[in-house]
Amino acid sequence: MAPRANWKGFLRLSLVTCPVALYPATSESEKISFNQLNRATGHRIKYLKVDADTGDEVPNEDIVKGYKVDTDTFIEVTKEELENVALESTRTIEIDEFVDKADIDPRYLIRPYYLRPDGKVGHDAFAVIRETIREMDKVAIGRVVLTNREHIIALEPLDKGLMGTLLRYPYEVRDPKEYFDEIDDVKVTKDMLDLARHIVEQKAGNFEPDKFEDQYETALVDLINQKRAGKPIVPKDRPKGENVVDLMDALRKSVGGAAAETKAPKRPAKNAKKAKTALASQKEMLMPIAGKKPAKEAAAKKPAAGARRKSA
């Protein structure tokens, strides 16, 4: 079942308009998440919204937004006033221009969304806009209001729908000179480049996301399962960086190492599939630990080492 739309409105190209819905294209709900607990009781921590001066808890209906002018001065802005900042992009994505995808600096990319027709009407108009963008091999640039802020959005065809990528404004992108000016100007010799290029050629491949395993997520699942089973947690040795004394020698050794990796059988796809299966909805953490009682029976028993249960 598709998630709830983040935004609903209209997509417009000149006089061609159709109702559309915008959905998040990515999700992090499958990742392991933690709650904060009171170490002494095992109870969850609850956050309260309190007045900074009086310490009294403030109900949600009495909380308003304020812009800080100086240390003790705020300009109060109500929800109604924010809603009155009426922008056309609040309800309509107006396509302003078409650009080459290569023209969009990757630093401006924020997050992707899926755009599809909303309801049973407007599919024809949506198809015309989609296929026009596809035929021109361009990216359509428009604006959309999400969470009370206007964003630039780049639209491009994806299967039968459109993918919209939110873009940053120039003032949100930091000047690289602040970070790169102090980097030394180093002369890289042709021999070094030749060796480095050889390493790259040996490691060249196609980007296949399924080959990559979220090793940290896998390690978290393993940690939680070990604690549920009451097994001791043994710290692992951390990798230590080595000082490079002779850069040419390091490059030569790297060439040999890359060649050995190329000859050795690769198993990333298998590992990725295993991880994907293991991590799907964190299901394996809900299953009984090997050699233990089923979950319902174990619930009446004493909690496993390292686990906490909320007291009555």
Asked if 85 and 77 touch (Cβ cutoff 8 Å), the reply is no
The full 3-state SS of 174-201, as one line of letters, equals CCCHHHHCCCCCCCCCHHHHHHHHHHHH
Assigned token pair, 3: 């998630």
- Per-residue pLDDT of 69-126, as tens digits, reads 988 899 998 888 877 776 766 889 999 999 999 999 999 999 999 999 998 889 999 9
Asked if 167 and 108 touch (Cβ cutoff 8 Å), the reply is yes
Tell me the C-alpha distance between 158 and 125, whole Å: 16
Asked if 69 and 75 touch (Cβ cutoff 8 Å), the reply is yes
Taking phi over 0 as left and psi of -120 to 50 as alpha, with beta for the rest, 24 belongs to: beta
Asked if 150 and 143 touch (Cβ cutoff 8 Å), the reply is yes
Assigned token pair, 147: 């969470």
Give 201's pLDDT tier (boundaries 50, 70, 90).
Answer: confident
Tell me the C-alpha distance between 152 and 99, whole Å: 13
Assigned token pair, 215: 């090793």
pLDDT at 71: 82
Tell me the angle at which helices 215-228 and 268-279 cross, rounded to the nearest 10 degrees: 50
Kindly tell me if the per-residue pLDDT of 17 is higher than 80. Answer: yes
As a 3-state breakdown, the chain gives helix, strand, coil percent values, each rounded to 5, of 35, 25, 45
Assigned token pair, 294: 């089923």
Asked if 90 and 140 touch (Cβ cutoff 8 Å), the reply is no
Whole-prediction pTM: 0.71
The mean pLDDT of 257-286, rounded to a whole number, is 53
Assigned token pair, 174: 């930091």
pLDDT at 153: 97
Specify the DSSP class assigned to residue 166: E
- Per-residue pLDDT of 290-310, as tens digits, reads 444 444 444 444 444 445 554
The mean pLDDT of 232-254, rounded to a whole number, is 74
Assigned token pair, 16: 């061609």
User: Looking at the chain, how many residues does it have?
Assistant: 312
Assigned token pair, 118: 């909303």
